[in-house]
Amino acid sequence: MTDPSHLKAPPPPAWHTRLRDALPARYVTRRLAGTAGLLFVLSLAVFALLRLAPGDPARTLLGTRSATPEALASVRAAHHLDEPLVSQYVRWLTGALSGDLGTSIRTGESVAAALGERLALTGQLVLAGFAVALLLGLPLGVLAGLRARQWVDRAVQSLGILALSTPAFAGGLLLIYVFSLMLGRLPAYGPGTGGTDRVLHLLLPGITLGLAVTAVLIKLVRAAVIRELAREHVTFALARGVPRRTVLVRYVLRGTVVPVTTGIGLVLAYLLAGTVLVEQVFALPGLGQLLVQSVTFKDVPVVQAEALLIAALVCLVNLATDLIHPLVDPQLRTERHRRRPGRSTPDELAEVKA
């Protein structure tokens, strides 16, 4: 008689084994190297901002101060402008990596300190906008996909297009007029004093920022749901009498994770750029408002530092998205294993045997 113990399924692999299989060292190294190369190119472009400014870089760094020969000589010596461009770039990049981003022309304070004071508020605004986009975009996209080509689908897509085509400053002013002036329920401007007051002050800016990208998530989720509903295993499960809710949760929604994850990365990048207008409308002293003021006053060190910071954040978001994909989609791991150098795919093996 056969021993039943031999029929038991093997124990599942440990979590670190699954993680190693999903993210092999070669794949992670390739992604890290690509991100590092992209950041290097972006740092060159940011460094060139000072050189692309019209006129003498020393006069640009002086700002509104008197451009006397002594002042120009002092600026050139402080910023090493008389050295070759390669040496200047190495000095600037080394300082940026160590946290020394220079001194603001307009205020005279450290650029790193100015960014640090405003980074938290901008981060909170981005999180508020991201939450609004998820809470609206995901359920509306699923609803539009389940009711494809019906009046519900057309209504949801029309609302998304309306939100996408509305400029941030116009939507923000409309929300201020309705909820602050007419109803008097929410504050119209300012960052608040912290805690609950901060949350109330960020509600309108967060809604304004999130509505602009809700349509993107709706489109991505709708297309993913329609594609998953047309797959054979979903049709087979419905034909076998599996409850529709179970099919939706265990098969359809699970298959939409990868495109939605990609869309979330794009949404976060767009939200970072959208804070510039939103912070101006609601008088929020964040990175966006600082960037507008620095461009107006030609504060090149601050503009360089902000451009480098935003570029680095976008690159890190894209890197995180690339690393998350194999963890949530086993098919990506299978395809990478099949295409590994030295291995043949099943189709190639079949051709050899024939």
Residue 348, pLDDT > 80, answer no
Q: How many residues does the chain have?
A: 354
pLDDT-derived band at 349, boundaries 50, 70, 90: very low
Residue 254, pLDDT > 60, answer yes
Kindly report the average pLDDT of the chain as a whole number. 80
99: helix, strand or coil: coil
Least confident of 45-59, 138-152, 166-180, 311-325: 45-59
Tokens representing residue 195 in the block: 């805690």
| Burial grade of 281 (CB within 10 A; 0-12, 13-18, 19 or more) | buried
Q: Are 317 and 265 in contact (CB under 8 A)?
A: yes
pLDDT-derived band at 56, boundaries 50, 70, 90: low
pLDDT-derived band at 154, boundaries 50, 70, 90: very high
The DSSP-derived string for 135-181 is HHHHHHHHHHHHTTTSHHHHHHHHHHHHHHHS-HHHHHHHHIIIIII
Give pLDDT, residue 345: 44
**Of 331, 323, 319, nearest in space to 254 by CA:** 331
pLDDT-derived band at 156, boundaries 50, 70, 90: very high
* Rounded average pLDDT over 306-315: 86
What CA–CA distance (Å, rounded) separates 152 from 141? 11
Give pLDDT, residue 128: 92
74, 80, 81, 84 alpha-carbon torsion, rounded to 10°:
160
**Which domains occur in the chain, in start order?**
122-335 (1.10.3720.10)
The DSSP-derived string for 279-328 is HHHTT--SHHHHHHHHHHTT-HHHHHHHHHHHHHHHHHHHHHHHHHHHHH
Residue 340, pLDDT > 70, answer no
Q: Any alpha helices (H) in the chain, and if so which ranges?
A: 15-22, 25-52, 57-62, 69-79, 85-97, 111-146, 151-165, 168-175, 196-229, 232-239, 244-247, 253-255, 257-281, 287-296, 300-328, 330-338, 346-353
Give pLDDT, residue 205: 93
DSSP 103: B
- Residue, of 204 and 251, whose pLDDT is higher: 204
* Rounded average pLDDT over 337-350: 46
Give pLDDT, residue 13: 61
Half-sphere exposure of 284 (CA within 13 A, CB side): 32
Residues 6 or more apart whose Cβ sits within 8 Å of residue 196 = none
Give pLDDT, residue 330: 62
- Residue, of 180 and 339, whose pLDDT is higher: 180
Residue 81, pLDDT > 60, answer yes
Give pLDDT, residue 16: 60
Distance of CA 27 to the CA centre of its chain: 21
pLDDT-derived band at 155, boundaries 50, 70, 90: very high
Least confident of 15-29, 125-139, 213-227, 284-298: 15-29
**What does the pLDDT look like over 111-137, one tens digit per residue?**
888 888 888 899 999 999 999 998 998
pLDDT-derived band at 302, boundaries 50, 70, 90: confident
